[in-house]
Amino acid sequence: MTMTPEQQAEIDEQRAAPRETLRTVSEGMEKHLYSAIPVLDHGFVRVIDYMGDDAAICQAARVSYGKGTKSVQNDEGLIRYLMRHWHSTPFEMCEVKLHVKLPVFVARQWIRHRTANVNEYSARYSILDREFYIPAREALAAQSSVNNQGRGEGLTDEEAARVLDILKGDAARCYDHYEEMISGDGQAGLARELARMNLPANIYTQWYWKVDLHNLMHFLRLRADAHAQYEIRVYADAICQVVADWVPFAWKAFEDYRMGAVTFSAQMVACLRRMLAGEEVTAENSGMSAREWREFEAALRG
């Protein structure tokens, strides 16, 4: 379960107390405020706070006194121009603060994105909940034979059942031992900061994560991508929904000029020019390595 009834009641209470403000409000983002988007079996992403909207990006780009908006079309055109030309600082004027509940092994990948502010639940101070990520049947797959950093064919039913049994058994046993070690029942009980060391990497942790829109889009470019591990990609996908509602113009520009864009090397561009001039360009006469040629072909195929 993602939320306990008590946690849901706290969220409902926050959502039931709107206040008037002079600050910029993004209507699309208001509907997300405080609510949790469920991710994986016990995880979630929820918006705690945000600053700015599409107009704020234009306002910063024009360093204006008022709203900065000339017209909606002008704003969209300006945002697309900024994105196309990597004029990134106006996007840093928007910020979002998220509350994320995620398995520890996902957190290890996530924390590599250094350009955010993080405050994590303290397992020195508090006792971790008995909540472990157990993959859905369809998320279980064998090691990929072509990509060392990924999964390939799905598992048979029998193999999947064996793996799930191991995962559930290990999680239960480790958590039982964790509880046993910290128990003060007739014994001193081990400190929480030490007892946690036997917990597996699929236990859930939580953090507040604050980041500006420029760096958030960099995160999404890498983690909502097909090359990212499924378990972090589903979090990135959830955040993509939020960003699309928060700053629709910036989101569309990001989809067009980053997510959906392809980068060609100088060699690739030279090959493209030769192709357009009618020359038959092959792996052998391309001047590229076999791997780069495959990537080039894949980019052209789409």
Ligand X SMILES: Cc1cc2nc3c(=O)[nH]c(=O)nc-3n(C[C@H](O)[C@H](O)[C@H](O)COP(=O)(O)OP(=O)(O)OC[C@H]3O[C@@H](n4cnc5c(N)ncnc54)[C@H](O)[C@@H]3O)c2cc1C
Which residues are known to be catalytic? Answer: 223
**Residue among 115 and 144 whose Cβ is closer to ligand X:** 115
Contact between 215 and ligand X by CB under 6 A: the answer reads yes
Chain position carrying tokens 């405080």: 34
State the maximum Cα–Cα separation within the chain, in Å, rounded to a whole number.
84
| Interface of this chain with ligand X, residues 121 to 160, rule: CB under 6 A | none
Q: Kindly state the smallest distance separating residue 234's Cβ from ligand X, in Å.
A: 14
Q: Out of 112, 124, 291, 301, which residue is the one contacting ligand X (CB under 6 A)?
A: 112
Among 23-31, 108-116, 130-138, 267-275, the segment contacting ligand X (CB under 6 A):
108-116
Q: Kindly state the smallest distance separating residue 213's Cβ from ligand X, in Å.
A: 13
Residue 148 structure tokens: 């060392």
Among 19-27, 113-121, 152-160, 277-285, the segment contacting ligand X (CB under 6 A):
113-121
**Residue among 36 and 45 whose Cβ is closer to ligand X:** 45
Contact between 114 and ligand X by CB under 6 A: the answer reads yes
The answer to whether the CB of 68 falls within 8 A of the CB of 59 is yes
**Residue among 46 and 214 whose Cβ is closer to ligand X:** 214
Helix (H) or strand (E) holding 213: helix 213-223
DSSP assignment of 251-285: HHHHIIIIIT-----HHHHHHHHHHHTT----TTT
Instruction: Please tell me the number of Cα atoms within 13 Å of 227 on its side-chain side.
Output: 9
Contact between 227 and ligand X by CB under 6 A: the answer reads yes
The answer to whether the CB of 178 falls within 8 A of the CB of 192 is no
Annotated binding site for FAD: 89, 112-114, 120, 212-214, 218
Rounded to whole angstroms, the Cα distance separating 81 from 88 reads 11
Q: Which residues bind ligand X (CB under 6 A)?
A: 112-115, 215, 218, 222, 227-228
